[in-house]
Each structure stands twice: as C-alpha cells, then as structure tokens.
Amino acid sequence: MISRRRFTGAGLAGLALPCFAVAAPFTSQTIKVIVPNSPGPGTDVLARFFATYMAKQWDSTVLVENKAGSGGQIATDFAAKAPPDGTVILITTSAHYTYPYLYAKLPFDPITDLIPVAQFIQGAFAVVVATNSPIKTVQELITEAKRQPGTISYASAGVGSPTHMAGAQFGHMAGISIVHIPYKDASQVMTDVIGGQLQMGLTGTSTAMSMIQAGKLRALAVTSPKRVPALANVPTLDESGLRGYDVTSPIFAVTRAGTPAATVSEISRIMLEAARTPEFKEVADKLGYVMDLQDSVKVRSNMPAEFAKWKRMVEISGAKPG
C-alpha cells in the first residue's frame, strides 16, 4: 500500500519556518521521501516532518510514500533502484544493518547500493509487563526466569526485528532462557501483554508510550544506555543490573549510491537543520526518542561498526538467513 501526501504550502501545526524559500538546487523534479512501513509509526511521523520542512525551504514538491512489507525490503529496493540524483530519500532503521545476515538473497546491496544522508535519533525499546503482573523489576523477572527456565516468553515484532534482537541480547546478558514469540503487528504485542497471554513484551517506546502513560502497561526498563526523556522514571537495563546493555534502533536517511556529493551534502544540511528545530525535538520527545544527530560523513564512518554490531546480535538471536 502506498500512501501519498503532497507538501508544498501546508505544514505541521506550529512548525516555525523562515519566510523565504528557494528551489532545491539539485533538481526541479518531485522529491520522494520513502517510509518502510504503513502510516502512523514514528518513522512515518518524522518523514512527514522532514517533507514539510524541505518543501518550504526548497519551494519544491515533496511526497511521502509508504512502502510497507518484507521487513522494509520493498522500500529499500525502491530506493536502491532510484535514479542517483537525490530525488528519492529513504527513512530507514537498524533493519538496514541486519539485511546481509538475515536474508540469503536480497534484490539490493545495503552496503553498496545506498549511501547515508544523515542520522536523527536513536529509538529505544521498552521491556513491558501488564500493570497487574506480580513482576515489578527487571531483577524480579530474571529471578523468575531462572527459577523456571523456558517458561517466560516474550513477544517481538517478528523474527529478525530489532525487538527480537533486543530480547535475545537481554536473555544472553542475563543468562536466562526466555522463549521468543514473533508477532506481525507490534500493537498486538501490547494487547496480549495487557491481556495476560504474554508475561512480557519488547516494543518501541513510541509504540508503547500511550499504554504506559494510560496505566495499562508497566515499563520495567528501556534498552537505551541513557533514560528516555519521556519515560524519565523508567530505569535502563544497564541501571537494572545488565551492565553495558545498549540496544537502540537508529533512524536515518539514505539515498541512491552515485548521487553527487554536493547533492547529498545539501540534503543532509536541510534535514539536520529541520532536526535541530525545537518543533522536531518536541515530536521526538513525545515519541520517546533520543536525539542523535550525525551528518552523512559521520554516519558513513560509523557504518562498518554498526554492521558488525548487528551481525553479532543476529548470531546471538539464532535467526537464520532465509
């Protein structure tokens, strides 16, 4: 399913922008911002923010296209086969770093077919239980899992998903055996945790936020190295005894390899300019994200370490290339 919205005049409410705009210096064509999931989640919200900002700053037509499916492969393949001119910009996540290790065959090469534009935030995950669960802390959860090995199950957004990796890393570092149950829909994870069908769940803070704030879910910890501003009272897993635990999913932009360096630099500049606005930070805070701004050069230099990091997590999870 493709969802399109044109951004030329109307923008997000309250977005403060300069009064003067100029045409995009690298193209007179329509610019597409591609999102690898359906409308609604955090990546989609951020993509629409960027599209609004770029349309006004460049006085250009910017479309957001949602290309969900195949764990992000449909969207990534579209971007990888786009013209190398910066007219197609993909908003992606840590899934980009797991592709080579989860799939025996890919219609694109995430290392050579796409180049980074900029990085914006780190998305943490929350370890959640139902509010009526007797488990109040991570240490209580670990104790229970050690007392009854293999009886604690956790749900994720699917095999090979970032939440699967986060849960596998949790079990590995805690020295416990917990059963992974893959789901296709992250919202169903929360429903089943609330209903008691699952003892615990791992889901993005942006997805769980409303249920936590409504008192339907209890967050035991977050997976980021530092606390999430929107969940300031929730400890990190590192604080909860798993020293050094750090699993977050970056949200960053890429475009087709071969795009001129000056074009990549301009896209990076304008997207980071948008990300530095108070309005963007407000949106990110509400979604439970942690700001992490990096330009194209910085993201590129970090990529080898990111691929190695996620390769190790795939190995720990036991997920096999399919």
Residue 241, domain member (yes or no):
no
Domain co-membership, 296 together with 218? no
Q: Among positive and negative, which fits the CA dihedral 71, 74, 75, 76?
A: positive
Looking at residue 168, which CATH number applies to its domain? 3.40.190.10
Predicted structure pTM score: 0.86
Domain co-membership, 149 together with 115? no
Residue 225, domain member (yes or no):
yes
Domain co-membership, 181 together with 88? no
pLDDT per residue rounded down to tens, the chain (322 residues): 444 444 443 334 334 444 445 667 777 889 999 999 888 888 999 999 999 999 999 988 999 999 988 888 999 999 999 999 999 999 999 999 999 999 989 999 999 999 999 999 999 999 999 999 999 999 999 999 999 888 888 888 788 888 899 999 999 999 998 899 988 777 788 888 999 888 888 888 888 888 898 999 999 999 999 999 889 999 999 999 999 999 999 999 999 999 999 999 999 999 999 999 999 999 998 888 989 999 999 999 999 999 999 999 999 998 887 6
Looking at residue 267, which CATH number applies to its domain? 3.40.190.150
Beta-strand ranges (E) seen in the chain are 4-7, 31-35, 62-66, 88-92, 114-123, 125-130, 153-156, 179-182, 200-204, 217-222, 249-256, 289-295
Query: CA–CA separation, 190 vs 200, rounded Å?
Result: 9
Please tell me whether residue 219 adopts helix, strand or coil conformation: strand
Question: Structure tokens of 64?
Answer: 């957001």
Residue 23, domain member (yes or no):
yes
Q: What is the DSSP string of 24-63?
A: -TT-SSPEEEEESS-SSSHHHHHHHHHHHHHHHHHT--EE
Residue 322, domain member (yes or no):
no
How many distinct structural domains can be found in the chain?
2
Question: Structure tokens of 134?
Answer: 């007797």
Tell me if 125 sits within 8 A of 204, measured CB to CB. Answer: yes
Tell me if 123 sits within 8 A of 161, measured CB to CB. Answer: no
**Residue ranges making up the domain that contains 54:** 4-122+250-317
Domain co-membership, 218 together with 254? no
Residues 6+ apart with CB under 8 A from 9: none
Question: Structure tokens of 43?
Answer: 């990546």
Domain co-membership, 92 together with 156? no
Domain co-membership, 224 together with 286? no
Tell me if 83 sits within 8 A of 255, measured CB to CB. Answer: no
Residue 256, domain member (yes or no):
yes
3-state DSSP percent of the chain in helix, strand and coil, to 5: 40, 20, 40
Residue 45, domain member (yes or no):
yes
Question: Structure tokens of 298?
Answer: 């910085």
Tell me if 236 sits within 8 A of 221, measured CB to CB. Answer: yes
Nearest to 86 by CA among 49, 31, 46, 34: 31
Query: CA–CA separation, 110 vs 94, rounded Å?
Result: 11
Domain co-membership, 270 together with 182? no
Which amino acid appears at position 177 of this protein? Answer: S
